[in-house]
């Protein structure tokens, strides 16, 4: 199998990054992680890149030309798919257009419900019975791209924002690799 070169964008803990790194070691998994991008120099997830000897870049999203520099890096590493994994910045329409159909995101809700931030607290405030996670293609509208896969999680009466986040994260680690396999028809 010829693997596609992937870049993972992170902002925080990087558990989805670590999970994808572990999965990418399997010769039947369709991506090879060649680059990690973070907008946060203190993102704990960068330790996974370091530990696995994966090149990483910290980008200053306040710089005017950061996306131009980013596109150069992606070209240099011959990146053909981008996986957003807890990346907390919105990409421009122009950037998305250059990678149309090649940017995936994992979101901690059952889209189209609860787009954006603070999803777990909003779900609990609305007394939902279920929440979950969604892997979708990224388009120019926030959390609105075509859904690839979703996983539903039952909410218990005792769930807090933290306990719900943990339950959903367990499912994210299962769902993201399945969605990547689906995208590559495997």
Q: CA neighbours within 13 Å on the CB side: how many for 68?
A: 4
Residues 176, 58, 138, CA angle at the centre, nearest 5°? 35
CB atoms within 10 A of CB 96: 20
Q: CA 17: distance to chain centroid?
A: 8
CA distances for 141 relative to 86, 92, 145, angstroms: 17, 10, 7
Residues 115, 166, 146, CA angle at the centre, nearest 5°? 30
- Mark whether 68 is an active-site residue: no
User: What's the alpha-carbon Rg for the chain, to the nearest Å?
Assistant: 16
- Which of 107, 120, 136, 173 is an active site residue? 107
Q: Give Dmax (Cα) for the chain.
A: 50
Cite the active site residues.
107
């Amino acid at each position: 199998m010829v693997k596609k070169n992937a870049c993972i964008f992170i902002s925080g803990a990087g558990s989805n990054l670590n999970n994808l790194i572990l999965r990418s070691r399997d010769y039947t998994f369709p991506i090879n992680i060649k680059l990690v991008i973070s907008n946060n120099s203190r993102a704990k997830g960068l330790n996974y890149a370091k530990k696995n000897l994966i090149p990483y870049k910290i980008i200053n999203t306040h710089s005017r030309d950061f996306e131009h520099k980013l596109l150069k890096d992606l070209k240099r590493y011959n990146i053909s798919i981008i996986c957003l994994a807890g990346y907390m910045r919105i990409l421009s329409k122009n950037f998305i257009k250059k990678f149309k159909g090649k940017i995936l995101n994992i979101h901690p809700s059952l889209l189209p419900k609860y787009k954006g931030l603070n999803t777990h607290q909003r779900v609990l405030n609305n007394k939902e019975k279920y929440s979950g996670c969604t892997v979708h293609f990224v388009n120019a509208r926030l959390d609105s791209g075509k859904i690839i896969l979703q996983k539903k999680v039952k909410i218990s009466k005792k769930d807090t924002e933290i306990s719900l986040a943990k339950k959903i994260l367990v499912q994210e680690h299962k769902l993201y690799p399945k969605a990547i396999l689906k995208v590559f028809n495997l």
